[in-house]
Amino acid sequence: MRSEKILYLAPREVQSLLTLDECIAAVERAFRLYGEGMAAPPAVFSMHSSGGGFHIKAGLLDLDRRYFAAKINGNFPENNARFGLPTIQGVIVLCDAENGTPLAVMDSRDITSLRTGAATAVAAKYLARPDSRIATVCGCGNQGRVQLKALSRVRQLQAVFAYDKSAEQAQRFADELAADLRISVTSVLDLASAVQQSDICVTCTTSQQPLLGLGDIRAGTFIAAVGADNPQKQELHPSLMATSKIVVDILDQCAVMGDLHHALHAGVVTRTDVHAELGEVVAGKKPGRESQEEIIIFDSTGMALQDVAAAAILYEKAERVGSGVRLNLAA
């Protein structure tokens, strides 16, 4: 029997090979292909456990070759305090979708973080006002850092407010990102006041209660709601959802686990009230921002095609430079 080898990419290889700019381009391409009807709807499966849960996201993309990827992620918010472990841990399995051959297994944590930030950047490119200069980041962990760096690639930010339930973490975030991005980053204690001064707001928390309501947002704001990736999580009040233009990554997915889920449950919106999936906007099938005054919400629950696109470019780059470890799975 012919020996088959699979490429293993550890966190250090992922971090050294996959850049944010490459990830943004790959994720935009994935949304466009999906919006053009060139990719099948991705699949998701979730299971809850004590203190957290697991999800499996899988999808197919026809890039320069056909790829299938499945990501298995564990998400346990109290991991750092309880065990000194990361909140998110998992792996992505990448396969050749023409013949089923497993190609690579790679650590998922940094890929998940980068592709999530990349989706916000793509959404902001099409949905935020071009003259947006002030942003608020709510949630100053690693994902918040990636979100702000991704936003800075598509909008010329001049000032940022950083809010976190931990004031110390918000201050560390402000100090680090101000030096990194060379813009003003200020930690704040009043989230609503900061958002009322902002053109863009990103929420990336584990909150299970609304953080922002209708009275907290000024006209013309773009909001990327990133944290609600299971049915228990919620960052935006249903009344805010009901009075805003809603763009989702995947409608079926957001209807059961995003902030859209809570608005639907409250009875203040229906699925037909959703303006578009982001892929439809990227593909030009539906308009993005249509006025300077409208409030637009991007409900981002994490689309599996983002993972496929990021994993594919990472795998191809690793193959070119000879990075990673080849594992023999068959004799």
Distance between CA atoms of residues 83 and 4, nearest Å: 37
Determine the pLDDT at residue 48: 86
Determine the pLDDT at residue 3: 46
> pLDDT tens digits, residue range 281-304?
999 999 999 999 999 999 999 999
Determine the pLDDT at residue 77: 83
Q: What average pLDDT score do residues 250-271 get?
A: 96
Q: What average pLDDT score do residues 20-30 get?
A: 98
Q: What average pLDDT score do residues 114-141 get?
A: 98
Q: Is position 125 annotated as part of the catalytic site?
A: no
Dump the DSSP string for 202-233: EE----EEEEE-GGG--TT-EEEE-S--STT-
Distance between CA atoms of residues 166 and 233, nearest Å: 19
Distance between CA atoms of residues 281 and 303, nearest Å: 15
Q: What is the pTM of this model?
A: 0.94
Q: What average pLDDT score do residues 205-211 get?
A: 94
Domains along the chain?
A: 5-112+305-328 (3.30.1780.10), 119-303 (3.40.50.720)
Of 57, 71, 125, 245, the active-site residue reads 71
Distance between CA atoms of residues 243 and 249, nearest Å: 19
